[in-house]
Amino acid sequence: MDRETRAFAEQHFRDLGGQLYGGGGQAPSGVAFIKEPATFSYADFVKAFLLPNRPCVFSSAFTENWGSRRRWVTPEGKPDFEYLLQKYGDVVVPVANCGVQEYNSNPKEHMPLREYISYWLEYVQRGCSSPRGCLYLKDWHVCRDSSAEDLGDVFTLPVYFSSDWLNEFWDALDVDDYRFVYAGPPGTWSPFHADIFRSFSWSANICGRKKWLFFPPGQEEALRDCHGSLPYDVTSPKLLDTRLHPMLQHSSPPLEVTQEAGEVVFVPSGWHHQVHNLDDTISINHNWVNGCNLANMWHFLQQELRAVQQEVHEWRDSMPDWHHHCQVIMRSCSGINFEEFYHFLKVIAERRLLVLGQGSEAAQEENIGLGLGFQQAAFDVGRLAEVLASVVIHPDFQRVDTSTFSPGPEELLCQLQDAVAATTTL
């Protein structure tokens, strides 16, 4: 990030005046297509898509040098099952059954990749049918199953997505990540959803095609049924029943995108979507959070805690440590609670303060992490300070035992606010 882009981004958030980023507003009439890497900069992406929270599609030119596009794919553009079996055949992967609804998702099982590929080949040979159902390899953590050397030959992280706090945090803990491979035959699909923590995501087709149905933030509300639930499948005829979906008349048609082989889709924060594989398809997908959608993540976590509290409200007076149990339940349902969110902020904040402590010239010469120059770190610190200021005054966070936190929340907030003041004119 350069100085001019940082100033543009900071003004953008000042103009929001505390309103939720990327919510409401006029929906775009279409999804932009970015053709040439040489003429599209990181600053272009920030201004045209990241800050306005708008989807876009990057052409296959952005991925043409990825090793996976050569090695995982046959000359005919199909998955190279022979190579995948040789390289990853014994790796155990998660597989969802698209033909079975489990709440608003699908039940999963685990099997070696070679077993799934055997199923896949048989499924296609039988005319896309199988007594085992429609199985879809989803959420395979390929980065955890690959060496650093091997991973570098699979894909190269596009600079546009390099400010990725979510994976930076989990990499620092060395326990998890939000980098996945999805793979499956025609007809496999992902039900209607918005991404975890209201993160951004990007999805690159290594081979095959996908159809995306996008709904801007807020438009999903008109799709709720009479019980307040969101649909599982927005293409279902059930959605046309106005008795079941009384607000349907206020809905707008989705933005529809067909993603070709090699292309990369940017999914903005809070956009609900549904995705269908049109061919034998393999994709690499990342979820990511940064300064632009951090407030969205915090807003989402507050909503999740309120939902838990409403569910167990009747035990508030009789259950010892009711507030603590709500945090425990929230973590089991959402993957994170207020305590872990603070540690997430702390890890990122300490890394950004380290960059700023080097000074602008040193940080320009020796970035810590891809894309982490001085101006990016200065922007990040400002966003961290704003969100942490909201966290520390939240009544439910004040009930969290922070006595062992180092630094404590108030101390870290002071460090961030001092850094913001020191870098305002730099």
Same structural domain for residues 165 and 309? no
Same structural domain for residues 152 and 167? yes
Residue 16 lies in a domain: no
Same structural domain for residues 261 and 328? no
Residue 63 lies in a domain: yes
Residue 133 lies in a domain: yes
The token pair at 226 is 């009479």
**What pLDDT sits at residue 361?**
55
- The answer to whether 352 and 380 have CB atoms below 8 angstroms apart is yes
Q: What are the distances in angstroms from CA 185 to CA 111, 117, 128, 235?
A: 17, 10, 8, 19
Alpha-carbon gap, residue 137 to 118, rounded angstroms:
13
- The answer to whether 188 and 253 have CB atoms below 8 angstroms apart is no
Same structural domain for residues 338 and 274? no
Residue 298 lies in a domain: yes
Task: Give φ, ψ of 102 to 5 degrees.
Answer: -125, 100
Same structural domain for residues 328 and 264? no
Same structural domain for residues 299 and 278? no
Same structural domain for residues 259 and 315? no
**What pLDDT sits at residue 370?**
44
**What pLDDT sits at residue 147?**
75
pTM attached to this predicted model: 0.95
Same structural domain for residues 365 and 225? no
- What sign has the CA pseudo-torsion 88, 92, 97, 103? negative
**What pLDDT sits at residue 372?**
67
3 state SS for the chain: CCHHHHHHHHHHHHHHCCCCCCCCCCCCCCCEEECCHHHCCHHHHHHHHHCCCCCEEECHHHCCCCHHHHHCECCCCCECHHHHHHHHCCCEEEEEECCCCECCECCEEEEEHHHHHHHHHHHHHCCCCCCCCCEEEEEECCCCCCCHHHHHCCCCCCHHHCCCHHHHHHHHHCCCCCEEEEEECCCCEEEEECCHHHCEEEEEEEECCEEEEEECCCHHHHHCCCCCCCCCCCCCHHHHCCCCCCCHHHCCCCEEEEECCCCEEEECCCCEEEEEECCCEEEEEEEECCCCCHHHHHHHHHHHHHHHHHHCHHHCCCCCCHHHHHHHHHHHHHCCCHHHHHHHHHHHHHHHHHHHHCCHHHHHHCCCCCCCCHHHHHHHHHHHHHHHHHHHCCHHHHCCCCCCCCCCHHHHHHHHHHHHHHHCCC
209: domain CATH number is 2.60.120.650
**What pLDDT sits at residue 167?**
96
Task: Give φ, ψ of 392 to 5 degrees.
Answer: -65, -25
Same structural domain for residues 271 and 368? no
Same structural domain for residues 280 and 312? no
pLDDT by residue for the chain (426 residues), tens digit each?
Answer: 999 999 999 999 999 987 776 665 567 889 999 999 999 999 999 999 999 999 999 999 999 999 999 999 999 999 999 999 999 999 999 999 999 999 899 999 999 999 999 999 999 999 999 999 999 999 999 988 777 777 778 999 999 999 999 999 999 998 889 999 999 999 999 999 999 999 999 999 999 999 999 999 999 999 999 999 999 999 999 999 999 999 998 999 999 999 999 999 999 999 999 999 999 999 999 999 999 999 999 999 999 999 999 999 999 999 999 999 999 999 999 999 999 999 999 999 999 999 999 876 554 544 444 456 999 999 999 999 999 999 999 999 999 999 999 999 999 999 999 999 999 988
Residue 19 lies in a domain: no
Tally of domains within the chain: 2
Using DSSP bridges, classify how beta strands 92-97 and 189-193 pair: parallel, antiparallel or unpaired.
unpaired
Same structural domain for residues 208 and 300? no
Residue 4 lies in a domain: no
Same structural domain for residues 278 and 410? no
Using DSSP bridges, classify how beta strands 135-140 and 179-184 pair: parallel, antiparallel or unpaired.
antiparallel
Structural domain ending residue among the three candidates 288, 323, 358? 288
Structural domain ending residue among the three candidates 256, 288, 320? 288
- Domain region containing 379: 293-425
